[in-house]
Chain A
Amino acid sequence: MRWFTPSWQVLVAIVLCVVAAVLGPASGPEAGALADPTATIIYPYFTTKDYIFGLIFPAGAISMMRIPAVAAALVLFIGAHGAAWLLLSGIAGFEGTALAPFYLLLAAAWLLAWRCVTILSSLAPAGRGERMLLRLLIPAIFGLWLLIIWEAVTRGAGVPFVLLPPPSAIAARIANSLPILAADVKQTILKAVLAGYVIGCGAGLAAAILADRFGFLRRGLLPIGNMVSALPIIGIAPIMVMWFGFDWHSKAAVVVVMTFFPMLVNTVTGLAASGHMERDLMRTYAAGYWQTLVKLRLPAAAPFIFNALKINSTLALIGAIVAEFFGTPVVGMGFRISTEVGRMNIDMVWAEIAVAAVAGSVFYGVVSLFERAATFWHPSVRGG
């Protein structure tokens, strides 16, 4: 029973801290202030620098003691993110002045977070709720650090705004332009994507049932459907814009074509998924084709159909957004992206992309919820 278990992440973090302390000033203005003590120069971390060291050192040290793993993870979590928050809030207003110690401290905080995630990954709690929490927490920390490093590098190194705006600026832009974003979402998603998705998936399902009824049609359509799914269908966007005009109808048409084939191919595969035994059973009941289809084969095909619905949820968004690059009324997510790129308002573009990402995830999530409700009998859901 040792009271002390070293971990390489924490040791490296402490070494980095020591190097940072030896190197001294963490930013250009601070170096100036040290060089000329009489002048009053405001510099980052005027008062908070000690706190940063004071967070990283003890957090690292305590985490290596023989304490419960949850406590160690909590201490590391507080230490790493407190230090990161101090570093980020301090550099605001002094963009582009960061020196080596700034990055060293950031790296030290990141190593603590890594150690925290490693401890959390090795936990195996008994309760279902706790497992769920861990499943969410670990990727959340990873995502958070992606944002922290993005923010620190863009602010610390003074990356030009047009190249890559820091996430805080993007968040501010989202908050400031909610009406515009809402109008774009309404135009692109609520009109074009949903209409196209429903029509495309419905047509794909109907075509699949037809193909299932007539074997000749299936043997002809399936190879074509498989081939089409590899083609860059998105290229029909300019043609659809020409046929159906600039408004959302043309985007919906692109979405219809893009979602049709995945639905067709998956449903045809799914309709063949029910076993011989079940089909024979239906025959002993003297069930007709339609009865067998509705009561046995469509439910058996549900996992495949939902797979297609999920694939299509992403394809539909891509289709509608890219189709807007070819011409739209002055509203819509694709329109906003292409015009704001032209005006070098990169933060607005990022805001639009963030909204698209959230919309895509929500769309996918809703389809997954329906899937869980409809295919509750399937092993992949039951076992969850």
Chain B
Amino acid sequence: MRWAGKSIIPVLTILAVLIAVWYVAAISMNAPFQRDTNARGGVQPGTWEFIGQTLSQPKPTLPAPHQVAVNVFESTFLRKVTSNRSLVYHSWVTLSSTLAGFGLGTALGILIAVGIVHIRALDRSLMPWIIASQTIPILAIAPMIVVVLAAVNVTGLVPKALISTYLSFFPVAVGMVKGLRSPELLHLDLMRTYNASAAQIFWRLRVPASVPFLFASMKVAVAASLVGAIVGELPTGAVAGIGSKLLAGAYYSQTIDIWAALVAGSVVAALLVTLVGVAGRVVERSMGAQPS
């Protein structure tokens, strides 16, 4: 908390500078188009009036922060949640496939990690591939999974959730292998002097030791699975979701909509990561860890 108090002023200052830069950039980037429009209309506005015009275009090159804020506010609070134009609706569509994929991916990652820690042949043969797979742009197969599954009549939530699963299980598997191996030799020896069975060592020593690693990698995984869900919505002209909102905005040059969708995605991401972090802290505290 002390740390947060010390950095709150710098953070706010930098955010203020960023917003100021944003306004300046918005004015200068929107100016050429506005000048053209005014020249065609034969209007000669004053400097302040001109700046006002650049900040209130319907399809600006760079929308001003307040335009984005108004759009986000309107499409979040003023429209019915079930409406096609509500950001809450689109966020929910993306969130549901993110969560489904995240849950599945975490379970799969833990399962693989348990296998790797206990079966030597699996460790030697699978682990290099898991590490190598981190270097591959996995996201590139997202469109294919969606289209191919649509060809066999699997549409909607499942394909997107599969992409999220795929993206989120790698961090969890790698983190859990590290976590399950984190107990020191001393502790393992102690368990052995207690004549503990393999299952007992696993449940009483390895699992508790791996919990901090699990939550750290789940934070990465949940962010990755959100990206997976958004990209999964891009290729097929999906009808709903943050990704489809981005794509529709790109097609019709609705820049304000794109930025609003970005804001929605960021809010969802921040919420998910915070939620996992809080869950991790609660679990660790209930297991007797010292709050750091």
Interface residues of A (CB under 8 A from B): 114, 117-118, 120-122, 135, 138-139, 141-143, 162-164, 216-224, 227, 229-232, 234-239, 241-243, 313-314, 317-318, 321-322, 325-327, 333-334, 337-338, 341-342, 344, 346, 349-350, 352-353, 356-357, 360-361, 363-364
User: Does B11 lie within 8 Å of A321, measured CB to CB?
Assistant: no
A346 CA / B148 CA spacing, docked (Å): 8
Is B14 interfacial (CB 8 A cutoff)?
Answer: yes
Among B139-147, B185-193, B208-216, the stretch in contact with A = B139-147
Q: Smallest CB–CB gap between B103 and chain A, Å?
A: 18
Is B270 interfacial (CB 8 A cutoff)?
Answer: yes
CB neighbours of A230 from chain B (8 A): 219, 223, 269-270, 273
Chain B residues 138 to 159 lying within 8 A of chain A, measured CB to CB, are 138-141, 143-144, 147-148, 151-152
User: Does A314 lie within 8 Å of B134, measured CB to CB?
Assistant: yes
User: Does A337 lie within 8 Å of B144, measured CB to CB?
Assistant: yes
Residue of A nearest to B149 (CB): A163
Q: Binding site of A, secondary structure by majority: helix, strand, loop or mixed? A: helix
User: What 0/1 pattern do residues 176 to 210 of B give for CB contact below 8 A with A?
Assistant: 00000000000000000000000000000000000
Residue of A nearest to B272 (CB): A230
Given contacts A219-B11, A318-B137, contact A163 B249 (CB under 8 A): no
Is B56 interfacial (CB 8 A cutoff)?
Answer: no
A118 touches which one: B15, B121, B219, B255 (CB < 8 A)? B121
Residue of B nearest to A143 (CB): B129
Residue of B nearest to A314 (CB): B135
Among B44-52, B80-88, B109-117, B226-234, the stretch in contact with A = B226-234
Q: Smallest CB–CB gap between B27 and chain A, Å?
A: 15
User: Does A232 lie within 8 Å of B255, measured CB to CB?
Assistant: no
Could you show 19 A-B contacts with beta carbons less than 8 Å apart?
A118-B120, A139-B126, A143-B129, A162-B151, A163-B152, A216-B10, A224-B11, A232-B242, A235-B242, A235-B261, A239-B255, A243-B29, A318-B137, A325-B234, A325-B235, A327-B250, A341-B144, A357-B137, A361-B135
Q: Smallest CB–CB gap between A371 and chain B, Å?
A: 14
Q: Smallest CB–CB gap between A134 and chain B, Å?
A: 8
Residue of A nearest to B273 (CB): A230
Given contacts A117-B124, A223-B7, contact A231 B140 (CB under 8 A): no
Residue of A nearest to B18 (CB): A224
Is B259 interfacial (CB 8 A cutoff)?
Answer: yes
A338 CA / B7 CA spacing, docked (Å): 44
A141 CA / B128 CA spacing, docked (Å): 12
Q: Smallest CB–CB gap between A316 and chain B, Å?
A: 9
User: Does B129 lie within 8 Å of A232, measured CB to CB?
Assistant: no
A327 CA / B249 CA spacing, docked (Å): 13
Is B265 interfacial (CB 8 A cutoff)?
Answer: yes
A238 CA / B6 CA spacing, docked (Å): 37
A334 CA / B13 CA spacing, docked (Å): 39
Is B107 interfacial (CB 8 A cutoff)?
Answer: no
A142 touches which one: B7, B126, B147 (CB < 8 A)? B126
User: Does A238 lie within 8 Å of B250, measured CB to CB?
Assistant: yes
User: Does A139 lie within 8 Å of B128, measured CB to CB?
Assistant: yes
Given contacts A162-B151, A337-B140, contact A241 B230 (CB under 8 A): no
Given contacts A117-B124, A232-B227, A325-B235, contact A223 B11 (CB under 8 A): yes
User: Does A242 lie within 8 Å of B137, measured CB to CB?
Assistant: no
User: Does A121 lie within 8 Å of B124, measured CB to CB?
Assistant: yes
Given contacts A117-B125, A318-B137, A353-B140, contact A239 B258 (CB under 8 A): yes
A353 CA / B250 CA spacing, docked (Å): 25
Known contacts A216-B13, A219-B11, then 8 further A-B pairs from the complex at CB < 8 Å, ordered by chain A residue: A121-B125, A141-B125, A232-B223, A232-B262, A341-B144, A349-B144, A353-B144, A356-B140
CB neighbours of A363 from chain B (8 A): 135
Is B132 interfacial (CB 8 A cutoff)?
Answer: yes
CB neighbours of A142 from chain B (8 A): 125-126, 129
Is B266 interfacial (CB 8 A cutoff)?
Answer: yes
Is B67 interfacial (CB 8 A cutoff)?
Answer: no
User: Does B135 lie within 8 Å of A325, measured CB to CB?
Assistant: no
User: Does B120 lie within 8 Å of A321, measured CB to CB?
Assistant: no
User: Does A232 lie within 8 Å of B269, measured CB to CB?
Assistant: yes
Is B163 interfacial (CB 8 A cutoff)?
Answer: no
CB neighbours of B124 from chain A (8 A): 117, 120-121, 135, 138-139
Residue of A nearest to B17 (CB): A220
CB neighbours of B129 from chain A (8 A): 139, 142-143
Q: Smallest CB–CB gap between B24 and chain A, Å?
A: 16
CB neighbours of A333 from chain B (8 A): 140
Q: Smallest CB–CB gap between B276 and chain A, Å?
A: 10
User: Does B235 lie within 8 Å of A356, measured CB to CB?
Assistant: no
Residue of B nearest to A241 (CB): B250
CB neighbours of A325 from chain B (8 A): 143, 231, 234-235
B15 touches which one: A164, A224, A341 (CB < 8 A)? A224
A231 CA / B121 CA spacing, docked (Å): 37
Residue of B nearest to A350 (CB): B144
Residue of A nearest to B265 (CB): A232
Given contacts A217-B14, A219-B10, A364-B135, contact A238 B144 (CB under 8 A): no
